[in-house]
Chain A
Amino acid sequence: MYAQMVKTAGSGVKDRDEMSEQEQDFQDRIDRGEKIEPKDWMPDNYRITLIRQIGQHAHSEVVGQLPEGNWITRAPTLERKAILLAKVQDEAGHGLYLYGAAETLGVSRDEITEDLLAGRMKYSSIFNYPTLNWADMGAVGWLVDGAAIINQVALQRTSYGPYARAMVRICKEESFHARQGYHIMMKMASGTPEQKAMAQDALNRLWYPVLMMFGPSDKESVHTAQSMAWKIKMDTNDELRQKFVDQTVQQIEYLGLELPDPNIKWNDETKQYDYSDPDWTEFFDVIKGNGPCNVDRMAARNKAWDDGKWVRDGLMAHAEKKAAAKVAAQ
């Protein structure tokens, strides 16, 4: 997902008799469905894990602007350009809501930004794939944002108040993203044979990278139990992935495109679709930094941060000068 393989701090779920009284009270509050707020007591490992998870989620929103920003100047019409611009601006806003939520846990915005820039924190593997043509703008909005919605809708119920509130806001805006993407796909799939072929190609290329967004299979996912007990992870990776496949097949069929995986078949027993797993070696390789665009993405973020330094410093210096003049005048 936008947060993948977040390392849960601590040594796993504690039995109740291993917990301190404070930890028991904390777990009881979560079990009752209460929200934890910034100034409430919380275990250090809950705080640390949340900073990692929300931080990674925020970084994904920000880095996620790059593959789509790539096509703003080359959108096919002025209207599509305005829509894409609005979508990419939303992603910046989503990053900001999430950084705001992370900051309530006692980390500064500059600190986690620098953790990303130095490679100490990650962002979603999906943004390390290139966007090769306009059809990718359709497929990204439809599939990547569609996958994100499935995860984020669940996270609206997460135990940490500021995170849950950021999710509510993000979910409202996210369905515009998925719909504008699907709209591009509808247009292309009903266009010339060449346009339809581009739509098919975008679907085929992005299908498995999108399935990887949900993170490794539950069998290999070591961080799930504690994060689920804390309600900062609401469903397992495989549950969310299945949900995504089940809702997307029908959407592919409506477009009149071929399914990107010949093994996708309705299973009458399980009442869901069977499908092929993505190549997990590729996933771990991309996470390690060897995807097609990892180097470019980090270079672009670092350049933006370095090039913007004089603006950040200049505006601060101006604000301080103005404040000093005001004090002097009083």
Chain B
Amino acid sequence: MKHEWPLWEIFIRGQHGMSHRHVGSLHAPDAEMAIKNARDVYTRRNEGVSIWVVEAVNVSASSPEDKGAFYEPSNSKVYRHPTFFDIPDEVGSM
């Protein structure tokens, strides 16, 4: 029988209130084993307090080819950044 364990993407949330963050991947037969393996592989030094596992085939990703056009709309809207507006010092902190 030739049957490789599926690949899982691993996300870990650390102790300091940050969101889950992608840390890497591993192979496991099912979600339960993926979580146990992720504990052994990615939290050996107290890196996390919560683990998400997602089978890699279920991840949809944006395509690198349309990088330009896809993100262009945000490039042309500099007024979305607070530094766009000059506020006089006399106004105080804002």
Contact = CB atoms under 8 A, between A and B. Distances in A.
Contacts of B49: none
B14 to A, nearest CB: 14
Contacts, number: 51
B5 A312 contact: yes
Interface string B10-29: 00000000000000111101
Given A40-B64, A313-B1, A323-B30, A93 B25 contact: no
A90 B44 contact: yes
B69 interface: no
Nearest to B1: A313
Interface stretch (A103-111, A131-139, A220-228, A295-303): A103-111
Interface string A289-330: 000000000000000000000001101101100110000000
A103 to B, nearest CB: 7
A315 B4 contact: no
The interface residues of chain A, by DSSP majority, are classed as helix
A97 interface: yes
Interface in A87-145: 89-90, 93, 96-97, 100, 103, 108-110
Interface residues of A, number: 27
B54 interface: no
B44 A89 contact: yes
Interface of A: 37, 39-41, 86, 89-90, 93, 96-97, 100, 103, 108-110, 165-166, 169, 173, 312-313, 315-316, 318-319, 322-323
